[in-house]
Amino acid sequence: MTAVAPERPVKREHQFPTDDEFVALLRSRSRKSFVAQSGFLLALIIAVLALFTLLYTVINDAFGLVAIVNAQNPEDVIAELGLDPASTSLGSLDKDQLVGLLEGSVSSGVGRRLEREQRFYADRLVFESQEVWDEICASAEAPDGCAGGVRNESDVLALVRERVVQPDVIASNDLVPSLFDRAGFEQSVRDAFVTSPARFGDYTVDQVRFEWRAWLNLDFIRSPQSSTPEIAGIRTALLGSTYLVLITMLFAVPVGVGAAIYLVEFARPSRLNEFIQTNINNLAGVPSIIYGMLGLAVLVRTFEPLTSGSLFLGEGGASNGRTILSGGITLGLLILPVVIISAQEALKAVPNSLRQAGLALGATKWQTVRAQVLPVALPGILTGAILAVARAIGETAPLIVVGAAGFITADPTGPFSNYTAMPIQIFQWTSLPQEEFRNIAAAAILVLLLLLLTLNAAAVILRNRYSKRA
Amino acid sequence: MSDTETAIPMTDETEQQIDITARLRNASSTDSSHMPMEIEDAVIEARGLGVYYGEFRAVRDVSMRFGKNEITALIGPSGCGKSTVLRCFNRMNDLIPSARVEGTVIYNDTNIYAEDIDPVEVRRRVGMVFQKPNPFPKSIFDNVAWGAKINGFKGSKSDLGDLVESAIRQAALWDEVKDKLNESGYSLSGGQQQRLCIARAIATNPDVVLMDEPASALDPIATLRIEELMQELKKDYSIIIVTHNMQQAARVSDRTAFFSVDVNDAGMRTGRLVEYGLTDRIFTAPENDETEQYITGRFG
Amino acid sequence: MVDQRTHFHAELEGLEQSIHEMGDRAHELIGMAVHALVTGDLDAAGRVREGDHVIDQLYLDVHNRWINLMARQQPMGADLRLMSVLLHMNVTLERTGDQAVNIAKLAALSHGLPMSSRIVEQVQEMGDLVRPMLRTAIESFIRRDADEARLLPAMDEPVDRINKSMYREVVALGADPQMLESATHMMMAARALERIGDQSVDIGEQVVYLVTGEFHDFNEEALHDRGSQG
């Protein structure tokens, strides 16, 4: 209690290096610093190189020269119409001309089938007579075309390309060799005709045309799956992935955020809560295939009536539990720990002073959380959720286990449809022997990357906008 | 003033000085201050208040009364439990899971630690301003209006506007923010933010405002503004302020309570109330030696 | 810039007002005491004592308020100088009041004694010289007028001169014991008035310090001036 003057500290000059020693020491310290810095730079370079190699490979496969044999060359088709092939392309023809080309080239059976899928004109029929049409549409199994809806010009153009021109890719080349050694590719195709003509059937070397082709194009995105790589598209898988993501989000975000709010805002520290927390942390590291097995056992098998939809729709449901609902919830379970943890982090990052301020005003805990804490944590919660969902989009293993279809051409129509997803589709394509499937697999990878990029960008934008507002 | 019966008057000044000093001593023992030591009209009373954090006893046996429309300062060395005591008065200690309070706190003839009292009810009547300005990340208007809204404010929209305006006016902030009520509370300077927090606290119409080192994060000028504001606020509210700044306690308060801390053999620190009295008295002639040593900087 | 310490400044102003009042009362008491002494008015002498009682009360009040204000408000700069000056003036003016009481007591003691009219005249003259000095000191304080305060040493010189000449006058009175007693009282009164003059000069020094921030001892300066002239 009485003030005692502290002993005066001694200046410890002799325990420090002399000026000369210090200079030498400093040189060695700087050297170590430089070595460390160089090491980190090297790590960065390796990472960037890996990333570029990935992009290079994918883009290299997705674009390039192809050797094509057309059943009818477009110039010949245009010349038959009496137009100048030099100034006109198929794309510049109007709808009537295109439909005319179809009429002239496809068999009447194929034409009727096309018309039943979807009509060419709203006011008249092209391949079918009105009486038969009415009869078909009156029958119990009326085809889709009866529902109305008309093929537009670009649909018809695609049909003309597919049915009239009928391009057949006999060889494809990667982007980089195409750019730098076009002649080599052309020569190799010609050589192939000489060495193994059996590969090309009836085609002669004169029919071969060399064209640039972007495997990633609008048609690719719009077309359904097909066994012919030239016309196969990603639509089915894209829709499947979209449905999956929707269900994943609807399941994982509310459940995950709710659990996080309880754990951070309401739970008092106890053994049980600590145990739960530890488990959540560990679950985040469980391999995704395990979740697939869980989904298979619980969702696909045990809750089949629920996941197949037969409980709600009766016979209208899917034949088994391998539906989008099962897949979506499985992916939801997979990302749930990540959503919970990221939401917890976001909530914990909200300064405690805000909670105290709210409570000190006489607000209840929930009023404080809802009005003051959640708005601040929301960008963080959403960012975490979006990144988790992005991870779900790329997941393959659990979906294979819970039964995503490898080959399916029908678009999914709802939560109880069978489905495929983009990574499954890519996986399936890459395992096929034809060279062209490798090209469309690359194109599909690009689409997937773009999708992921978009989601990540959304997360960043969301975060920036909210953090600026606060 | 010297004895008039003496034949020859004393012109000796030392003798007069002695005389005056004696009278001074008498005068100061019957302090002519307008404020009596005994508090007739207490707004809050603590009886045998103690706080435990788990097994650790943070504060023991505090009994004191807080005057209505007065500013009471709690001072003392760090760890003396002054903030802990303050947080007993609006049950903010309840937020710490291991905290336990013994004794009673009487507000409005009610023990606020009674079984059937909801802390939420207490906090509406006993507002609080914190050490660091902590406005909500909302507009200035919403910062002030929210407390009233969640407490079931019954008035119309324009009534709410009036309430917000009067609270901000009382907090001496109106002229600075009246044109930007829709801007974020974060756009204000630190001192303005703290006054916004004061406006927010008084907008729920409390009786008591607790202030936990309200100016410690502010620059000297902003600090003086808060202090001036407190002098105005005490006309309508009773204020209890914790401050580690003795000079601030001296400047603003009517009464001062000095807390000290005992350290036991196990190194546990327990705070206790040492002396409580009129601020004039505490800072010029404290009765307790510990207080004297603390305010003269010889301890703590 | 807005005043951030209005409450403190209001209290400080109140304190200064009390000092003004003490100055006014002391000024009045001096006149009253000299009158009582010169005319033998015992009622006036009584009123001087009552008046001093009021000054003493003010002194105690100012002292208490001063120490509380000092403890609580930690004044700085001009406020700090003012506080220092107020404390000094409080003591000085209280003593001025005491000197007035001393003169009043001498009036009672001298009552009925024969007096040398020459000496009485000189005491009267000293009273007439000292009162404007105190007035000047207080006024210069109120107006913060250092130049006016610097006039005070010069005003004090005739007071000192008369005070010194009193001794010769008293010795010259010779052997009349009654005359000698009253003359001694007058000498003591002259001494009291001389002290009041010095106290006014002290206040002047305080005013110069308040205004300029530097303290000058007028007497030493006067000595120095005389030294450099001679």
Q: Binning pLDDT at 50, 70 and 90, where does residue B8 land?
A: very low
The region, left, alpha or beta by phi > 0 then psi within -120 to 50, assigned to residue A446 is alpha
Alpha-carbon gap: A367 to the closest alpha carbon of chain B (Å) = 8
Is the CB of residue A56 less than 8 Å from the CB of residue A170?
no
DSSP state of A15: G
Alpha-carbon separation of residue A214 from A52, A224, A230, C1, C129 (angstroms): 20, 17, 11, 72, 116
**Six-digit token pair at A72?**
């009818």
How far does the CA of residue C147 sit from the closest CA of chain B (Å)? 31
DSSP A371: I
- Please check whether residue A356 is in contact with residue A275, taking contact to mean a CB–CB distance below 8 angstroms: no
* A225 pLDDT more than 50: yes
Closest CA to C123 of C184, C74, C214, C187: C187
List of chain A residues whose C-beta atoms are within 8 Å of the C-beta of residue B128: 356, 360
- Look at residue C229 in the predicted model and tell me its pLDDT: 47
Q: Where are the beta strands (DSSP E) in chain B?
A: 42-53, 56-67, 71-75, 99-107, 110-111, 126-129, 208-212, 238-242, 255-263, 269-278
- pLDDT per residue as tens digits for the range B134-176: 999 999 999 999 999 998 888 899 999 999 999 999 998 999 9
C153, C218 in Cβ contact below 8 A? yes
Residue B133 scores a pLDDT above 60: yes
CB < 8 Å from C in window 207-236 of B: 221, 224-225, 228, 231
Q: How confident is the model at residue B38 (pLDDT cuts 50, 70, 90)?
A: confident
Beta carbons of B123 and A361 less than 8 angstroms apart: yes
According to the model, what pLDDT value does residue A228 have? 79
- Closest to A332 measured CA to CA, from A298, A291, A297: A291
Query: Measured between beta carbons, which residues in chain B are less than 8 angstroms from residue A268?
Result: 97
CA distance A58 to A214: 12
At A222, list the tokens. Answer: 């719009």
Give the mean pLDDT of chain A: 86
Cβ neighbours, 10 Å, residue B267: 6
Helix (DSSP H) and strand (DSSP E) numbers for chain C: 8, 0
DSSP secondary structure, A24-45, as one string: HHHHHHHHHHHHHHHHHHHHHH
Residue in the block written with tokens 């003509």 = A197
Q: Residue B195: which of B235, B162, B225, B238 has the closest Cα?
A: B225
How many other CB atoms are found less than 10 A from the CB of residue B63?
13
Cα Rg of chain C, angstroms: 20
Residue A360 reports pLDDT greater than 50: yes
Please calculate the CA angle C216-C221-C227 and round it to the nearest 5 degrees: 160
Q: How far apart are CA C27 and CA C22, in angstroms?
A: 8
The model's confidence at residue A316, banded by pLDDT at 50, 70 and 90, is low
Across the B:C interface, residue pairs with CB atoms under 8 Å apart total 64
For residues A300 and A393, the answer to whether their CB atoms sit within 8 Å is: no
Rounded to a whole number of angstroms, the distance from the CA of B278 to the nearest CA of chain A is 25
**CB within 8 Å of chain A, chain B residues 152-191:** 184, 186
CB within 8 Å: A361 and B201: yes
Percent of chain B with pLDDT over 70: 87
**Which DSSP state fits A70?**
E
Task: Fill in the amino acid letter for A432.
Answer: L
Q: Which residues pair with B212 in a beta bridge?
A: B242
Strands B56-67 and B42-53: antiparallel
Q: What is the C-alpha separation between C96 and C109, in angstroms, rounded? A: 20
| Chain B residues close to C57, C-beta within 8 Å | none
B225 and C192 in contact by Cβ < 8 A?
no
Determine the 3-state secondary structure of C36 from DSSP.
Answer: helix
This model's pTM is above 0.80: no
Q: Give pLDDT, residue A254.
A: 95
CA distance C119 to chain B (A): 20
Determine contact, residues B234/B264, Cβ cutoff 8 Å: no
Q: Which of A77-86, A144-153, A307-316, B212-221 is predicted least confidently? A: A307-316
Is B9 in contact with C106 (Cβ distance < 8 A)?
yes
Interface residue A1 vs chain B (CB under 8 A):
yes
Residue-wise pLDDT tens digits, B196-216: 999 999 999 999 999 999 998
pLDDT band at A5 (very low <50, low <70, confident <90, very high): low
A49 or A67, higher pLDDT: A49
